[in-house]
Amino acid sequence: MEIPKNIFQYDWAAMSATDQRAFFAKNGFLVIPQLFTPEEVDLMHKEIEQYGLAEKKIDMSEAFCSAPSFAPMVDHPKLVSALTSILGSNFICFKGAYVPKHSKQGVSDPHRTALHVDYGILEREGDYRNSNALWVNVACYLSDMTFEHAPFAVVPGSHNYFHLEPGTDMESLKEEAVTLLAKAGDAILFLHNTVHAGGSNVSGYTQHILFCSYRAAWARHIGRVTEWPKQFVENSPPSRQRLISGLNAGDAQEELPAVVKRYVPASVLKKSAETLSTLGKYSKAKSLTRLGDRLWAAYEKRVE
């Protein structure tokens, strides 16, 4: 699939908070230039190599928490300021990931993936993190983009195309797509239902990307989600703890009987919670969902 030849250019550095809010509302995306300085990006590359993150087969969130230089992205003042303009002052960072995009072997022509939205696709069963009504993905690139080095394609204004169905063919919009050539340290923000596509990496070297996802505090997930690692939260400064604590707050207000919390095996609690959450989702029975949430809370308390 062809990368859009129309390169989108804008004076991102000159934008005020009001400008950012207006631009995002109209286009569904935004760029924050130099979220990280060249020196900070260099440190990230060193830690990626030091911890062998590009080659490790571990959970993306675990990799994100491994390198000390990654964590400041969560509550970076420039990012928090932009998100406040977009989401208001009350939002939560519910997901972080480090993603290495290796160069494709034997492929030389630049191309992209299919146009898509990030809502309603690729979620594993029982993974409810993306199941909220309003969230913003943030991708921070640790190297300069070129047409060969996986540029980002986006369809401006497509977050207002309410006829689009997640998981369907959106290539009819390819003539409206533009290409963003981010620099190392730049961050691209885009709404969960903004149509976009990543480029394929044919540059000969690995592209490194950090992702954080933020939701409005009111936009609760439809089921219980995995909290950030306890040690990661406890070792974070207050400004970061505020954004990564209590992802399931409000989900388990009612107490289970003490005999259940104390004597039911953890494996049974987990399986029961998964089953009830799934049944509650498809039957729309809130009582089942609430009971599943309470069992999840008991399970997590047991395994802490």
pLDDT digits (tens, 9 = 90+) for 30-42: 999 999 999 999 9
- Say if residue 127's pLDDT is above 70: yes
pTM of the predicted model, to two decimals? 0.80
- Say if residue 259's pLDDT is above 70: no
Q: Say if CB 109 and CB 202 are below 8 A apart.
A: yes
- Say if residue 114's pLDDT is above 70: yes
Give the three-class secondary structure for 273.
helix
Q: Which of 143, 173, 2, 13 is nearest to 78 (CA)?
A: 13
* Lookup result for tokens 């299919």: 114
CA distance 76 to 164: 33
Q: Say if CB 99 and CB 136 are below 8 A apart.
A: no
Residue of 8 and 283 predicted with greater confidence: 8
CA distance 250 to 152: 37
CA distance 276 to 295: 9
182-209 mean pLDDT? 94
Residue 6 amino acid letter: N
Q: Phi, psi at residue 122, to the nearest 5°?
A: 65, 5
Dihedral of CA atoms 49, 51, 53, 55 in degrees, nearest 10, equals 80
Q: 134: how many CB neighbours lie within 10 A of its CB?
A: 15
pLDDT at 222: 80
pLDDT digits (tens, 9 = 90+) for 53-92: 998 777 777 888 999 999 999 999 999 999 999 999 899 9
